[in-house]
Each structure stands twice: as C-alpha cells, then as structure tokens.
Structure 1
Amino acid sequence: MKHQKKRSKSKLIIWSILILIFVTVGVFWAVGHLDSNQPTKPKTVRLTAIGDSLTYGVGDSSGKGGYTNLIRKKVNRSQHNVVMTTSNFGISGETTDQINHRVITSKKLQASIKQADVITVTTGGNDMLHFLKSNIGIQNDKLLSQQLKKYSLVYQKRVTRLLESIRHLNKHVQLFVFGIYNPVYVYFPQVSFISRSIQVNNQITKRVVLGQSNVHFIPIDKKLSDGQYQTAQSRAKLRKQTTVFNHSDMAAGELEKMLGGQSTESNKYLSDEDHFHPNKLGYGIMTNLLYKEMRQYLNWLKE
C-alpha cells in the first residue's frame, strides 16, 4: 500500500510538472504569436529642406511648398513602414552665402539639421542671376569668359562653405543637392551664354558634392530648361520661330524683361505667373528625380 501511494504521488508530481510545462510553453507561444501579428510601428523620418525659392516652393499654385510637400506625400504613399515629416527652410532670393549665414546663426534651423534623417538643398540660382545681371551686357566674348571664370572660383568657395556648415551640424546625414536650370531658354534659346553659365554653375556644384561623403547631386537642368522641347528636332524648330537675341543686345536690366513672358512660346514646367520658377509639374519632376536618387542611398526606401 505504501509503495502504491508513493507511486501515485510520484505520478501526480510528474503530471503536474508536465502540465505546468505545457501551460508555460502555450503562454509564450500565444504571446509571441500575438506580437508577430501586431503591425510594426512605422519609422518616423525627418527631412529638412534648406535653400532658396525652389525650396520654399515659389510657383507652386497649391501653395503647399513645391517639392518638399510632394516628396513627403510620395514617400508616405509608397512606404508603409515610414512616415516622413518635412521642415521647410527655404527663403526666396537668397544666395549661397545668405543660406550659409542662416545655417550658422539660426538656432531653429540648426536644431532641425541636427535631428534630420535626410537633408535637401537648393542653392546657386540667385548667385547665377546676380552674375548674369552684372555681365549680360558685356559684348566681348573673351571678357565674358574671364568674368565667368572669376565667378566660378568664388561660387565654388561659397557652396563648399555651405555644405561644410551643414555637415558640421550633422556628421552622417545623407544630403541631396539640386542643380539649377535656365528659366529663359524656351523664350530665348539663342542666348547661349546663359545656358553655358548655368552649365558651369552645375559643374562646380557637382564637383564640390562629389568631393564629400554622403552628398549627392541631382541635375534638373535638362528637364526644366528645355521644357516640352526634349528632342534636338523640337529645339531646332524652337530656335527658328523665336525672336533672335544675342547677349550683346541686352543691357543690365534686360534679364528681368526676359522673364515677363514676351515670347509666344512657354515652358510647360514653369509658372505662368513669373516664367521663372517651376509650376506643380516642374516641382513634380524635381520630386521624382529626388526620390529616384534617395532610393539608391537610403535603406529604409529599399525595404
């Protein structure tokens, strides 16, 4: 009898242990299963946009900030694991030095740069505009080339300082820097000096960008300058049907007049208001080019 009682007691203990093990395993499995079915919380990605009127979004008829608004919407639509927020620090009319001054003096901008996961930059357009206004009336091609060379050396120092100032505040963030475009090409395609100057400006920006780590250049010249005239044949036809102008025909103030839409032609990617800044279609082009570049370098856009 005593042996039977001991055996019964041993069996009861063994069963109790087994039941406890099964219950524990079941609880852990249930908890793990519930966790695996819970939706993953999206990652918040902060984009800080720094620059001039192209960052601010002048020309965007919606008034929502041009490409900064469009890239946020595009990322959030296409990436279920990401929620992008944007901070727009664009001010119309600012040159590269003026943008850099804000970077090194504005506490609000500095805080945004430090917290940013992505930074975009538009600069150089107003530097080039000031250069053209000062030199477009020069009739000597050799002197024009000399002036452009002097400008190039100064601009290279400016854009280098700007990118270094941003990098000083955020060592590892990925920077995406837009080039500039010729807003008057469609109206005055014969004025080759403007296109050449803008091409030089872009080459300098790209050279500076390539000399730094985690900085990427986004060219927009071809798409936005040529507008709907994307083929050699259509551009040749455009040159034939537009008024012939040479840079020697222009006084210092003529560049502003050129932006008044004097031609019967129009660039479908630029605003009808000023014939200078992108419209919503133009900002859409900038957005798509930015998104394509971002996908190459940002892991969370590849997932």
Structure 2
Amino acid sequence: MAKVTKKHRLRSFFIGLIGTVIVILGILVIYNHFQKTSRPQTIKLTAVGDSLTQGVGDPKGKGGYVNLIRKKVNHQKSNVTMTTANFGISGETTNQINHRVVTSKRLKRNLRQADMITVTTGGNDLIQFLKANISLGNNQGLKDHLDSYCVTYQKRVSRLFRSIRYLNHSAPVFVFGIYNPVYVYFPQVSFIGTAIAHNNRITQQVIDRQKNMYFIPIDKKMSDGQYQTASARKRLRQRAVIHDGNNQGANAGIEGLLSNSKAEPNEYLSNTDHFHPNETGYQIMTDLLYRDMIKHTNWLKE
C-alpha cells in the first residue's frame, strides 16, 4: 500500500479547506439574497409644503395624498415599506416654506434622512397676487403685474429647491403643480387660468434645471373636475355667470363663493371650502404621484 506522505496530507487539507470556504460563501450568498427578497426595504418619504401637503379637505383628516401614497405603496409592493413625515402647513407661501426648511431642526433632519421628498408650493403665492390684482380695470395692467409676479416667484421657488437640495443631494423630489379651484364657477374669467398656467410653467422650468427632481401637473385634472371633455367644458362656460371683460366683479364673486356652504359642483373638491381636494381629489394626486414614482425610483421598478 502506498505510503501517504506529509505533503499529500497537507494538500488534501488545503483542498478540503477551500471546498469548505466555497460552500460557506455559497450559503452566505443564498442567505443574503433570501434576506433581501424576504425583508421589505424601508423607504422614508418626507413631504413639505402648504395645505395640499397638510391634507386640508381630506374628510378623514389623515393627511391627504401623503397618507394615501403610503397606503398605496405598502399595498402594491411587498418588497417596500414606506414611512411618511408630513410637514405641510396650510396658508404658507413659498418663502414661508423655505424659511422652515432653513430653520426647523426637525424638518431639516427629516429632509436629510429622506429617501424621497414631495413638495406642494405656489398656490398661496398666486392667491395673494390674484386678490390684489384681479379687480384691476384693464387687461394690460393685469399682464404687467403678472409679469412682475412671475419674476419674483421664480426667485422664490428656485431658492426653496436649492435649500432642499442642500440638505439632501440624492433623494428624488416630486413637486406638484397648482390648479384652478374656481374654474367650474368662472370658466370665462380667463386671467385666473392664465396666471395658474404661468405659475406652473415657472415651477416646471426651475425643476427641469435640477437633477432627480420631477414636476407633477394636476391643473387639468383638478381644475376641470368631472368636466373632462371639450363638450362638457363648453356647456360649463355657457351656463357660467358672465363677468365683464376686465374681470370686474370676479374678485367679489370668488370671495363669496369660497365663503358659502353650497354643494361643490367640482366632484374632486371639498364641499366645505370649495377649494381643497376631497378624498377623490387627493386620490387623483396620489395616482399621478405613484405613476411618476414608478418611472423614477428603482425600488418601485423591482
């Protein structure tokens, strides 16, 4: 019988050791894969903005689209667990939101930790402008004031986005546009629609210059409500109360509308204030947000 030398025993030992290491590494790879596929990835959403982020108009008082997007993601994706932090405050302008982003320790911490950020802004800036200017006596005066407002608003929204990006360089940021809550009452007051279109265009232009930041338009869906076809909108204009071409009386009419308690003809808006989304409206915002999230986040594509 051949004698087993020390050299042969040593070689056999190393071969066995290498085989054992390979087996262990294989087990670790399989285990890690199992852990990744079986344990949901936690995604933190930080939402900052005005009343649309706060969820004003939500009949359940649970935070509007911020609550709904968390429920939708967690229901649709077994590999993702979304948590949310809602920093919406009703009535705030872009400058006021930016002030919180810069000064609030809690908000700054949540923005830094966020895997995803949503923003609503611009609506209160424009409301202030419209209240001050819509009753001007001539269209040229309105146009001049709107041009001046647009220059100012562009500086404000650019500053806000820079502040957010300074705190978080990598998280995708989804920014909602604004809509016309009085369109179904005053479709003939074209200046309101023009001002909203300008506001949205500026927001989108600023966003387009940012990396990993996306604009979500909601104007057509939310402004038109259930009147989504051309024929439906034509009938709406025909039955509207006509104000004169210089918008005289429109301001008083809008103020009166927002203070009454009649049923809201736009089925996507609140019956309480005729301004903010109801549950259906917030669901529309949620669905539009989710659609863009699928396009721009890897953790929803998997």
Structure 1 length as normaliser, TM-score? 0.88
2:142 maps to a residue whose letter is L
Partners of 1:213 and 1:178 lie apart in 2 by: 16
Partners of 1:32 and 1:150 lie apart in 2 by: 63
Residue 144 (structure 2) aligned to one of 139, 143, 146: 146
Which residue number corresponds to residue 279 of structure 1? Answer: 278
1:293 has 2:292 as partner: yes
Point out the more displaced range, 259-268 or 107-116. Answer: 259-268
Partners of 1:97 and 1:301 lie apart in 2 by: 33
Which residue number corresponds to residue 83 of structure 1? Answer: 81
Which residue number corresponds to residue 158 of structure 2? Answer: 160
CA-CA distance at 1:34 after TM superposition: 7.4
- After superposition, residues 131-142 of structure 1 pair within 5 angstroms as 131-142=129-140
SS at match of 1:259: helix
CA-CA distance at 1:267 after TM superposition: 0.3
Which residue number corresponds to residue 215 of structure 2? Answer: 217
1:35 maps to a residue whose letter is Y
Which residue number corresponds to residue 194 of structure 1? Answer: 192
Q: CA RMSD in A?
A: 2.7
Partners of 1:187 and 1:274 lie apart in 2 by: 14
CA-CA distance at 1:248 after TM superposition: 2.6
Distance 1:264 1:166, change over 3 A: closer
Partners of 1:202 and 1:267 lie apart in 2 by: 21
Point out the more displaced range, 276-285 or 236-245. Answer: 236-245
- After superposition, residues 66-81 of structure 1 pair within 5 angstroms as 66-81=64-79
**1:87/1:112 contact within 8 Å kept:** yes
Query: Among the aligned pairs, what percent are the same residue?
Result: 55
Which residue number corresponds to residue 178 of structure 2? Answer: 180
**1:51/1:99 contact within 8 Å kept:** yes
Partners of 2:170 and 2:25 lie apart in 1 by: 40
2:287 maps to a residue whose letter is N
CA-CA distance at 1:174 after TM superposition: 1.0
Partners of 2:196 and 2:63 lie apart in 1 by: 24
Partners of 2:266 and 2:250 lie apart in 1 by: 24
Distance 1:142 1:73, change over 3 A: same
Partners of 2:243 and 2:294 lie apart in 1 by: 42
Distance 1:24 1:52, change over 3 A: same
Residue 110 (structure 1) aligned to one of 108, 111, 132: 108
CA-CA distance at 1:43 after TM superposition: 1.1
2:196 maps to a residue whose letter is I
How many residues align? The count is: 296
1:66 maps to a residue whose letter is G
CA deviations 1:184-229 (Å, max 9, x no partner) are: 0011111111111101110110111111111111000000000000
Distance 1:96 1:33, change over 3 A: closer
1:278 maps to a residue whose letter is P
Structure 1 segments unaligned to the other structure (5+ residues): none
Structure 2 segments unaligned to the other structure (5+ residues): none
**2:178/2:200 contact within 8 Å kept:** yes
CA deviations 1:134-172 (Å, max 9, x no partner) are: 011112001110010010000000000000011111112
Point out the more displaced range, 274-283 or 27-36. Answer: 27-36
CA-CA distance at 1:63 after TM superposition: 0.7
**2:263/2:271 contact within 8 Å kept:** no
Which residue number corresponds to residue 53 of structure 2? Answer: 55
